Structure 1
Amino acid sequence: MSDEWNVDAILSLMGGTIFHFIVGIKMMWGNIAPYVTSYLVQFNPEVTYSSALHIYTGIFLGQSLTMYLGGRLEKRVGQRSSAYIGATIVSGCTYLSSHCKTLRSFAFLQALVGAGIGLSYSAPILCGFGHLKNNKGIVTGIVTTGSGVGPFLAGLVATTFVNGENCPVDPTTGLYDPASPVVGRVPDMFRVLGMMYAVVGFVGASLLIPTGMEGPPNDDDDNDAGGPPPVQSSLMGGDVGESLTLTDGGEFDFYYDGSMREDDGGEETTRRSTMKSILRASNLNKGRGHQRYGSRVKFEVRFELTTTQMINDSLSWLVIGTAICTGVSGFYVAATYKSYGQTAISDDHFITVVGCLACLCNGVSRAVWGLTADRIGHFETLEVTAYAYPIVMLMYTLSVHSKLAFGFCVCSMYGLWGASGCLMPAIVAFLFGDKHLGTNYGFIFFVYGVMCVIIIDSAGNSGFDFGRLNYFFIAVSFVGAILCSHIRYLTSKVKDEKVLKHHRSTSSVHSML
């Protein structure tokens, strides 16, 4: 069944993309890090780039801790309301950051910004899934494009406002002089950004049009801690367009409409025949196809795991490990590219433009990766980008003195990094079902985010310079590529990803490993 690209679907995708402008703002930290660090140094001379990384990881940690809660919130209050709540927290805490003068207060408020992102991250994506169920790759690609376009625009606004004169940093300290006008404009920069995030977030949230499928809160995660994975079946009526959901051991009534022409009167009458059938879950678990020949009616089997059941599925931990290794290097580069570039390139405007273009590449690439995944497969697309990333990062490390090479590598890494963020929600939906995607992906992102924070903070506190740390993250990225190959191998039995859930419902979960 093809999806209908109606006005509601288009507006929802547009709204989701606009809303994700503020979801991706954590990627612009590398752009404003020299300004914020220089501002904090005047209150505490012991603040360094490494310690200021805690502000960046605070955003990420806040998002990670609330992604699961965001899935629960979306079920309870709806997609649009979740987005409004997230926009309020993100814009409000950004504005309040203008009053911070200590590293701790800054990190705390930015962690709340991350919490706002986490609470509302999945709502626009789930809204798009509701309209376009069979095009999840392109939905996540289009919506998460905003995650790159947002920091592109915000980064240009921030740099133009704070350092319009293109003042260089002190070559000795790598920071701006406390008497520089750049430092004095930092508080107002956060006020401008806070107001901008409020406008963008509320406009995007207002354009979201839920499909009416959200329903009341679902407590399956709490009540279904054990037992076999839930298998749902739908009776699809091709002639009348019906779909009736069956639960384990449930019953259904199916009405088939047939039109007959009476020979004597020439009048067209309608006859309704009723079939009553009882289907047991044991029959569905055997993976038997059901077809009533003589009519266009069939059963579809859908494999759905609650978050508790997903946690007990070893495949979910392989997905988490893959997400960590393919994503952490991107977050590291986003936080440090400007500080690393300034060790060899003394042109703040050039590095800023590179960072903004890189964010734009990240956003545009997500739509490309989503479209590619719908054509050749999500696992294959992720695998290709995972192997390319460490190669480009090696070039980035060795060619920092060349402006052209530096700009090319940063933009390329951001573009390749976009594949992980774009494809993971769709992969989680394929492997564990659509019904609990908000909470399932929320849990995966929680573990992923916490581990990325630990890795990046540990790297920042290690005392190594950026060059040495780059080699460490190159190795981590290569491990991620190997894990991608392993997942692709495990799912290679299923040539068509659209029947992957049926395959998993008819075979042992652990047999795939």
Structure 2
Amino acid sequence: MGFYSRTDFNRKVISLIGAFLIHFVIGTTYTTSNLSIYIASYLREKGSSVTLQELNILFPLQIAIATSSTLIGTMLTTKYSQYLTVCIGNGLVILSVLITSFLTEPIIVILVFGVMYGIGCGLSYTTPLMISWSHFPNHKGRISGIIISGFGFGTTAFNLISTHIINPDNQKPSHKHDGTKYFSDNVSSRLPNTLRILALCYFVISLIGILLLGKMIKPKGQNDLQGSPLDECPSLKSGLKTKAFSTLFLLGFISNMPGLYVASAYKSYGSSEINDDDFLALTGALGSVFNGSFRYVWAQLMDKSSFKIIISILLMFQLCFMGSLYFISQFKVIFLIWICGIYACEGGLATLFPSVIVKCFGKVTGTKIFGVYYYSVALSAISGFVIQLFIVEYFGYLTMFLVMAGLSLMSIFVVYFVFVEENPWKIENRYVLDDIN
């Protein structure tokens, strides 16, 4: 692993490619929304009474566990080894997919494909970012966009691959139970082999990504009394006590819920309006393209502007998409465009928050604070699942989408009237140096 001892530009770019590939694999979290109906159909064919609504917990559980494990991954990278952290993280993702291919008990599937997968994803998430931030310290937003775009593009490829292997003839779900349609055995029986193929693909891509990763570069020219950069928050504890952190935590919780909910439920909802498995798989795949590519676009815009301006624009788009989704869903092309738009907004949030946290708290402490912030996304994912269990059953999808639109509007209010975009440590440390001089 000592191949990259020098820090020339070409090797930094190669390392960036490795970081992208790591996220390409762990980003397959979003394929779970596409796979859930096949998993439910397969388990029911094996004698289980589990429903698709119950298995819809898989995606939010993966997100919740992944976000909860991010801080652990950051600490492992800081205290031990970046390579060990990524090997463990991606290894757990690969093993969870492989093991699931042999399971027939729903609760075990949830524990392995939900919890184990989520832990692996969380452990590997921040390490590639930390490495590339140290290589390109003046382009954190752009670098975040490039790496995290892999998180979206991974789903694009494997949504299409998995659907083609499981349902090559685009058969429609034919078994109906409590208003939900499931696939017959001639489709769902292909699930185990599909998962094993995916696990092999994940292994190869992960191996290449890990081999390409460079070493983290320690910052030079540290010039305050403690040897830390001027813009560095002195400790994790100090950062967590600030108004900036509590505001970002709240904002992350309410702004991420609409996109995470749609990412988990677009196929379940779409199946009731558009009974076309290939089209819905394509919708998820193209949505992931927008998720991945717009992460870079939002990051570029933030580098040229500010978090406050860019996230306000993003949230206004999200508000419009969520508020009108129910009314356009009968039109296939417009439904696809709207889902892609929501995915683009969700991907933008995943890029903007790490960048602004590093800006407000510094690269070293900011990375740790980002791990704590990520618990807001975990709470958001699980809360969205719990809320939809009640609202969709008793009030329907229209009410659910309007609630999500309301959260987007509330997020805009927080951005405009509560959040202050500044680095208090940079100002404070400059005052200390001025007093010394």
**TM-score of the aligned structures, taking structure 2 as reference length:** 0.90
Residue from 477, 486, 503 that aligns with 2:417: 486
Task: Confirm or deny: 8 A CA contact 1:5 1:132 kept in the other structure.
Answer: no
Residue from 150, 153, 159 that aligns with 1:149: 153
Q: Counterparts of 1:439 and 1:395 in 2: how far apart (Å)?
A: 38
Residue from 196, 199, 206 that aligns with 2:204: 199
Structure 2 partner of 1:68: 71
Cα deviation per residue 1:394-413 (whole Å; 9 max; x = unaligned)? 22221111011101101111
**Number of equivalences:** 420
Q: Counterparts of 1:458 and 1:118 in 2: how far apart (Å)?
A: 24
Letter in 1 for 2:38: Y
Q: Counterparts of 2:406 and 2:46 in 1: how far apart (Å)?
A: 38
Task: Give runs of aligned pairs for residues 248-263 of structure 1, distance below 5 A.
Answer: 248=226
Q: Counterparts of 1:89 and 1:176 in 2: how far apart (Å)?
A: 29
Task: Confirm or deny: 8 A CA contact 2:224 2:230 kept in the other structure.
Answer: no
Task: Give runs of aligned pairs for residues 39-438 of structure 1, distance below 5 A.
Answer: 39-43=42-46, 46-110=49-113, 111-170=115-174, 172-173=176-177, 174-179=180-185, 181-213=186-218, 243-248=221-226, 301-438=230-367
Cα deviation per residue 1:438-474 (whole Å; 9 max; x = unaligned)? 3211111024313431332342255243333222212
Give the share of equivalent positions with the same residue, in percent. 20
In 2 relative to 1, CA 144–31 (structure 1 residues): closer, same or farther, beyond 3 Å?
Answer: same
In 2 relative to 1, CA 96–398 (structure 1 residues): closer, same or farther, beyond 3 Å?
Answer: same
Letter in 2 for 1:119: L
Task: Confirm or deny: 8 A CA contact 1:131 1:211 kept in the other structure.
Answer: yes
Task: Confirm or deny: 8 A CA contact 2:174 2:184 kept in the other structure.
Answer: no
3-state DSSP class of the match of 2:221?
strand
Q: Counterparts of 1:40 and 1:143 in 2: how far apart (Å)?
A: 35
In 2 relative to 1, CA 305–453 (structure 1 residues): closer, same or farther, beyond 3 Å?
Answer: farther
Task: Confirm or deny: 8 A CA contact 1:29 1:56 kept in the other structure.
Answer: yes
Q: 1:380 deviation in Å?
A: 1.4
Structure 2 partner of 1:467: 398
Q: Counterparts of 2:207 and 2:339 in 1: how far apart (Å)?
A: 31
Letter in 1 for 2:65: G
Q: Counterparts of 2:66 and 2:245 in 1: how far apart (Å)?
A: 20
Q: 1:378 deviation in Å?
A: 2.3
Q: 1:32 deviation in Å?
A: 1.5
Q: Counterparts of 2:377 and 2:329 in 1: how far apart (Å)?
A: 29
Q: Counterparts of 1:78 and 1:245 in 2: how far apart (Å)?
A: 27
Indicate the structure with greater strand content. 1
Structure 1 partner of 2:427: 503
Q: Counterparts of 2:89 and 2:83 in 1: how far apart (Å)?
A: 10
Residue from 453, 459, 467 that aligns with 2:382: 453
Letter in 1 for 2:410: V
Indicate the structure with greater helix content. 2
In 2 relative to 1, CA 328–505 (structure 1 residues): closer, same or farther, beyond 3 Å?
Answer: farther
Q: Counterparts of 1:317 and 1:466 in 2: how far apart (Å)?
A: 31
3-state DSSP class of the match of 1:158?
helix
Letter in 2 for 1:398: F
**TM-score of the aligned structures, taking structure 1 as reference length:** 0.77
Q: 1:172 deviation in Å?
A: 4.2
Q: 1:345 deviation in Å?
A: 1.0
Task: Confirm or deny: 8 A CA contact 2:141 2:302 kept in the other structure.
Answer: yes
Unaligned runs of 5+ in 2: 1-6, 432-437
In 2 relative to 1, CA 354–312 (structure 1 residues): closer, same or farther, beyond 3 Å?
Answer: same
Q: 1:143 deviation in Å?
A: 0.4
Letter in 1 for 2:89: G
In 2 relative to 1, CA 54–132 (structure 1 residues): closer, same or farther, beyond 3 Å?
Answer: same
Task: Confirm or deny: 8 A CA contact 1:89 1:113 kept in the other structure.
Answer: yes
Moved more, 90-99 or 389-398: 389-398
Letter in 2 for 1:94: V
Task: Confirm or deny: 8 A CA contact 1:72 1:438 kept in the other structure.
Answer: no
Q: 1:7 deviation in Å?
A: 0.9
Q: 1:79 deviation in Å?
A: 2.3
Q: 1:206 deviation in Å?
A: 1.5
Task: Confirm or deny: 8 A CA contact 1:61 1:453 kept in the other structure.
Answer: yes
Letter in 2 for 1:476: L
Letter in 1 for 2:129: I
